[in-house]
Amino acid sequence: MASGPFKYEIVFVGRSNVGKSTLFSNLFGIKVKKGKKPGTTIKPNFIKYRDLLITDMPGFGYIHGVSREFNEKVKDFIVRYIEDNSGRILTTVHVIDGKSFIEVVERWEKRGEVPVDIDMFSFLKEVSKPILAVNKIDLVKNPDSTLNRIVDKLGMNPPWTQWKEIVFPVSAKNKDFHELKKALKNILIQKNRHDLISVFK
C-alpha cells in the first residue's frame, strides 16, 4: 500500500482489458507495471506527486481461467480501499470499453444478474464523485447512440450530452483524451492546487 502524507487522491478503476492501464500510462507519461499473469496478484500501481496520490487499481470482473473467488477478492479489495480512503479521494475514474459495454451488460442481465460495471458505478456514486471514461470510442460505429445507451444503463437519462461533466468518450490508445484530462486538472484547480497539474504529461 502507498504510504505518505497524501492529502488528495485520484483513483482509476475498470474491468480487465478495457484499456484502463493504457489510459493511466498515457495521461501521466509513465509505464505501468503489469503482473506476470492475470489473477495472481492484487496490487495497485501508484504515482506519488507531492501530496497527491494517483492510483491505478487492478482490473476487476471475470477473467477467463481465473477462479471466481479470486475475481471477487479483487472487487472486494477495490471497494474496501475506496471506502477506507474516501476522505482524500477527489474523484474516481471508472474506465469502460465503449465497444463491448452494452453487449456485456445485456449478457449479465439475461442471466438475471447485476452487471459488474453497473454495480461498481452505483457504488462509486455513493462514496465519491465518479467520472466515466468511455474508452475505445474510436472503434464505435455510432458513438452518440452508443453513449446514450450506456448512460441509460447506468441510470442516467439520455442524451449523454447532458452528462458531459461526468461522461468522457476517450481513445487511450490514440491519446485522445483532452476533455478528460482538462476535467481532472480542473478538479485540482478547484482545490487551489495549480502546482499539482504538472503531474499530467
Task: State pLDDT tens for residues 121-171.
Answer: 999 999 999 999 999 999 999 999 999 999 999 999 999 999 999 999 999
Confidence of residue 114 (pLDDT cuts 50, 70, 90): very high
User: How many whole angstroms separate alpha carbon 1 and alpha carbon 19?
Assistant: 23
| pLDDT higher at 4 or 197 | 197
User: How many whole angstroms separate alpha carbon 184 and alpha carbon 9?
Assistant: 11
Structural domains present in the chain: 8-193 (3.40.50.300)
Q: In the prediction, which pLDDT does 61 show?
A: 82
Q: In the prediction, which pLDDT does 163 show?
A: 98
- Could you identify the residue written with the cell 482524500? 88
Q: Has residue 40 got a pLDDT over 60?
A: no
| CA dihedral (27, 33, 34, 35) positive or negative | negative
Q: In the prediction, which pLDDT does 9 show?
A: 98
Q: In the prediction, which pLDDT does 32 show?
A: 77
User: How many whole angstroms separate alpha carbon 63 and alpha carbon 108?
Assistant: 15
Whole-number average pLDDT of the chain:
92
Which of 3-7, 42-46, 193-197 has the lowest average pLDDT? 3-7
CB atoms within 10 A of CB 63: 18
For residues 161 and 151, the answer to whether their CB atoms sit within 8 Å is no
Q: Has residue 91 got a pLDDT over 70?
A: yes
For the beta sheet containing 8-14, the strands, ordered from the edge strand earlier in sequence to the opposite edge, are 45-49, 52-56, 8-14, 89-97, 131-135, 167-169
